[in-house]
Structure 1
């Protein structure tokens, strides 16, 4: 299954926050989704700017984790839409955001490779979310 084929459950569990993972590497997307699930999040994964735009037409996530280089390039369109909607996002990429589109400047940045628990903890802090113990 490609990342863009992974979908959130039809009904997000009561109290669960929805996270959007924009990542074109399946194993990374899967690891991030599993890490978020352990923290009580539901997640959806897409692998391109085009897929992210289509998903965002119908959904509003609580947060997003974004790779800069996607299947269809690195334009930053999804990041711009998220920023405009007030959705916090973490840049998780091998590309330093300071040398990319200005939309990525100033966003929390976790360089690849990174321990998934560290990435998920940062994302959780952005929305003040803690998994139930």
Structure 2
């Protein structure tokens, strides 16, 4: 059975996040929800989504660090926003913009069109790599 593509959704509005999660799961995706920029960054430290849906600003600030991380990882992303603020981080320009007024199905269609056909396998998690290195004797100590 094929593995489901993982979508990171960084959205601070609970009802919008729930709508997106339900629509994306119904479309066959696995979804990780992040309600803050910090939560999205923590998740991205160990995981690689197939695509992400970000808002520009969450309760703890602008999600520029997450956008920059996605650009560095080569992960496509959708910027789901009502207003494009003045002076927003240039990393957001790498995403595809869609207005918050659209319904979840339009976002699902954009997410589908954004995922590359030759989707790379996600890398092993950092914890799994450390465990393998420890088992091989390369890391003799516990962290």
Range of TM-score over shorter length: 0.7 to 0.9
Q: Tell me the equivalent position of 1:105.
A: 93
Which protein is bigger by CA-based radius of gyration? 2
Aligned equivalent of 2:112, options 124, 127, 130: 124
Tell me if the contact between 1:24 and 1:71 (Cα under 8 Å) persists in the aligned partners.
yes
Instruction: Return the offset for 1:128.
Output: 4.9
Give CA-to-partner distance per residue, 1:68-93, whole Å, 9 cap, x none. Answer: 11011115110100110000000001
Residue 50 of structure 1 aligns to a residue in which SS? helix
| TM-score under structure 2 length normalisation | 0.75
Q: Tell me the equivalent position of 2:53.
A: 65
Q: Tell me the equivalent position of 2:129.
A: none
Q: Which runs of 4+ in 1 moved over 4 A?
A: none
Tell me if the contact between 1:97 and 1:104 (Cα under 8 Å) persists in the aligned partners.
no
| TM-score under structure 1 length normalisation | 0.81
Aligned equivalent of 2:42, options 54, 59, 69: 54
Aligned equivalent of 1:77, options 42, 65, 78: 65
Residue 113 of structure 1 aligns to a residue in which SS? coil
Tell me if the contact between 1:17 and 1:41 (Cα under 8 Å) persists in the aligned partners.
yes
CA gap of 1:106–1:81, structure 2 versus 1, over 3 A, is closer
Tell me if the contact between 2:23 and 2:108 (Cα under 8 Å) persists in the aligned partners.
yes
**Structure 1 segments unaligned to the other structure (5+ residues):** 1-12
Tell me how far apart the structure 2 counterparts of residues 75 and 45 of structure 1 sit (CA, whole Å). 14
